[in-house]
Structure 1
């Protein structure tokens, strides 16, 4: 039996958890049927019309992209617009499109780790730590006969946020629980203990449902916040070079290692460099984090004139390798990673990197 789109999404979410995505981002399934079987997968940077059309011609079932097809909610769907024409094309060919964007930027082993590794950085730390949602543990004690009702209550119906409760859960029988009755008598009962973890957005609807259930049944539940360990996740990375070099040598080395035709740099070419910060994609918003991290050089894309002036005035260095070059390297890496995972799972899936993409900018 072929895995479904939903099965592939579960694997992708384990690589790049959606909770790591920035608040403004739109990650996950953009177009498609979660229950549709999948045999052929493409990985690409952008869901452009050219890429989607080629995927349809190649009978691809699932297109995985880094950049979202839909950034903002659509008020209506006009097939004459660029977005609408892509959605129309994908729907007519039963092509599902899934996006892992800023969550893949932040995740361990994601784009920023890959970029930093290619440059030759070690001892990596996030440039800006991920803002993971607060998680809570709910512990429920209930009579054994209530087990199925509670399970249906928690895991089958969607919550008010539109999501099913997911995450760590356990069911543990507790024999001989001491139950205190209002009369002061003690009765030994056969009970169960259920533990679930929920994020802040799911806490209110879950506790509301439990409170309503509690009023009609003999259950008890406790809620407590969890302290999440540092996962080393976040936008950008800061790392050290094996040995100190001057800024000009570093820039030339990056150009060679990333196979770039050109790059831009600002700063003193003779600046000694030992610590470097990187941010895939557009890194201008992390300039303050760069100044605070102690690195001598910042490597990113889409950097602006005044960013260069600010870095120059601080006697630091800036290297703009371009948006496309800083992110496209994840395509081959993710393709190989997914192929290995599905091979280990003994899933007969054909995962390929889209080979028709190129940087939209041309330098004359």
Structure 2
């Protein structure tokens, strides 16, 4: 399958037109690889380390020509390109080594088997529906039922076991013995959806990047807020995407081993 065909297939599933106005989905760098046979490295964030990983694979005989990422490389208009800047170096290497960078962000968040849907699958939510529906059957986040029900302690253990976050933060004064039947999930930065989650009747909400007062707000509104970190809540969807691409019989596709969480917790050492 050519890269152009792969992108056409993907965009029929997760249309870039569905992205938010502030977002930048689609081609970040296209160095003339559309007609090449797709050999894809999938990652959460297209960093310099991931680009160097792709080049290292080329050097040992795997001609990687596409980095398929969830997070955009370019969010804001680039005003200058200077030696030493990460975007500059990634761009230079992209053209020099003929490795394109394509991004699926808020369009991928909404679809079946996208970031939220995969998170719901990992935690085995039943009858999962979007927290906020954007069109029929699609939307941001998922809310569903835990069958069998779990205590909060059991749920926290399951999240930790399935997602392997470096740490878990959850609402103060939460009773770990209380039963959780209805759970909401949203990979990445989902604190802005707290009010929407409350309306769903969920007892607990798993997301990331939550601030101090958002934990206060959740507690005051009777919602248990659980923060497992941005990386841990979105990386599973990248792995699922690899499996989906493998079913297309691509010549080569692999999940990046150089994706980074960008966070360490001192207390762990």
TM > 0.5: yes
1:305 and 2:209 correspond:
no
Match 2:148 to one of 228, 243, 246: 243
2:113 and 2:237 in contact (8 A); partners too: no
- Deviation, structure 1 residue 336: 1.0
CA offset digits 1:63-103 (Å, max 9, x no partner): 10010001122233334322111111111111100001111
Alignment match, 1:182: none
CA separation in 2, counterparts of 1:309 and 1:353?
37
1:69 and 2:73 correspond:
yes
1:268 and 1:315 in contact (8 A); partners too: no
- Deviation, structure 1 residue 128: 1.2
CA separation in 2, counterparts of 1:42 and 1:15?
19
1:112 and 2:116 correspond:
yes
CA separation in 2, counterparts of 1:340 and 1:24?
32
For residues 273-292 of structure 1, the aligned pairs below 5 Å read: 273-292=180-199
Unmatched segments (≥5 aa) in structure 2:
59-63
CA offset digits 1:316-338 (Å, max 9, x no partner): 21111100000111222111101
Alignment match, 1:175: none
- Deviation, structure 1 residue 122: 0.8
1:318 and 2:225 correspond:
yes
- Deviation, structure 1 residue 39: 4.2
For residues 92-241 of structure 1, the aligned pairs below 5 Å read: 92-130=96-134, 230=136, 232-241=137-146
CA separation in 1, counterparts of 2:6 and 2:238?
16
- Deviation, structure 1 residue 34: 5.3
CA separation in 2, counterparts of 1:245 and 1:43?
33
Residue aligned with 1:58, SS: helix
CA separation in 1, counterparts of 2:11 and 2:34?
16
CA separation in 2, counterparts of 1:28 and 1:245?
39
Alignment match, 1:46: 45
- Deviation, structure 1 residue 36: 3.8
- Deviation, structure 1 residue 252: 1.5
1:20 and 1:103 in contact (8 A); partners too: yes
CA separation in 2, counterparts of 1:248 and 1:315?
17
CA separation in 2, counterparts of 1:75 and 1:258?
38
Normalised TM-score (structure 2): 0.90
Alignment match, 1:252: 157
CA separation in 2, counterparts of 1:117 and 1:68?
25
2:42 and 2:68 in contact (8 A); partners too: yes
CA separation in 2, counterparts of 1:118 and 1:283?
18
Normalised TM-score (structure 1): 0.68
CA offset digits 1:174-226 (Å, max 9, x no partner): xxxxxxxxxxxxxxxxxxxxxxxxxxxxxxxxxxxxxxxxxxxxxxxxxxxxx
Alignment match, 1:272: 179
Unmatched segments (≥5 aa) in structure 1:
133-229
- Rate the CA distance shift 1:121–1:252 in 2: closer, same or farther, 3 A: same
CA separation in 1, counterparts of 2:49 and 2:66?
15
- Rate the CA distance shift 1:18–1:123 in 2: closer, same or farther, 3 A: same
Alignment match, 1:159: none
CA separation in 2, counterparts of 1:39 and 1:93?
15
CA separation in 1, counterparts of 2:130 and 2:38?
36
CA separation in 1, counterparts of 2:77 and 2:258?
29
Match 1:331 to one of 214, 234, 238: 238
Residue aligned with 2:247, SS: helix
